[in-house]
């Protein structure tokens, strides 16, 4: 079971989300994937992600769940992994979301639609409440990071997830535009025990 969480200002229409949905459909596993459009409010985003996790794993056994998160979705995936004792794949994840997104206050637009929203100080406070200072069971994390990420610092990523399975790409970009190339390794990790 896989729950995909997109990044800030993104949606289920992002290239990574679409490629993952296509790969799961080609494998006949569409029913094992949820890739929702997350609300802009962090607490609402987490609540929706939790609802999808429970739908994917109705027995309550979250050990069969992998949360894949990109950028801010990686920040959320970390919280969910620690809360649910599942696995997490992190793609150029936000490490210090409060610091990095406090520069985004105000009214902004979404990347894949005409939609817009306001990102407020309350949104930043909500992000702060979701930070997990201590990470456990590092073997249940898989970090994919690009040294060429123009938005977030790959060194902060590798320090935060020290001990996790790691694929460090020399160069690359924040969007992780080579995602499709790494899908087999990601899906292999989701299937591992």
Indicate which CATH number applies to the domain containing 83: 3.40.50.1820
Task: Kindly report, residue by residue over 59-92, the tens digit of the pLDDT.
Answer: 888 999 999 999 999 999 999 999 999 999 999 9
Is 102 a member of any domain? yes
Provide the pairing of β-strand 141-146 with 106-109.
unpaired
Is 166 a member of any domain? yes
The answer to whether residue 174 scores a pLDDT higher than 90 is no
Residues near 189 by beta carbon (within 8 Å), at least 6 away in sequence? 66, 87, 89, 142, 165
- Domain holding 47, by residue range, is 2-141+151-191
* Packing angle, helices 42-56 and 121-129, rounded to 10: 40
Domain count, the chain: 1
Task: Kindly report, residue by residue over 8-19, the tens digit of the pLDDT.
Answer: 766 777 889 899
φ, ψ for residue 34 (rounded to 5)?
-125, 130
Q: Please tell me what DSSP assigns to residue 60.
A: S
Is 146 a member of any domain? no
Is 170 a member of any domain? yes
């Amino acid at each position: 079971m896989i729950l995909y969480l997109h990044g800030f200002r993104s949606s289920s229409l992002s290239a990574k989300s679409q490629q993952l949905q296509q790969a799961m459909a080609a494998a006949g596993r569409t029913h094992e994937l949820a890739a929702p459009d997350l609300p802009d409010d962090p607490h609402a985003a987490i609540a929706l992600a939790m609802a999808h996790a429970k739908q994917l794993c109705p027995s309550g056994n979250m050990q069969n769940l992998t949360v894949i998160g990109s950028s801010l979705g990686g920040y959320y995936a970390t919280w969910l992994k620690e809360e649910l004792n599942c696995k997490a794949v992190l793609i150029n994840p936000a490490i210090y979301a409060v610091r990095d997104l406090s520069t985004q206050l105000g009214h902004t637009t979404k990347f894949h639609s005409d939609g817009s929203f306001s990102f407020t100080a309350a949104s930043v406070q909500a992000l702060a409440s979701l930070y997990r200072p201590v990470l456990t069971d590092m073997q249940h994390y898989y970090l994919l990071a690009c040294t060429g990420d123009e938005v977030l610092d790959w060194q902060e990523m590798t320090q935060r997830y020290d001990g996790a399975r790691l694929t460090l790409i020399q160069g690359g970009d924040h969007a992780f535009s080579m995602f499709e190339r790494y899908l087999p390794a990601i899906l292999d990790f989701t299937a591992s025990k």
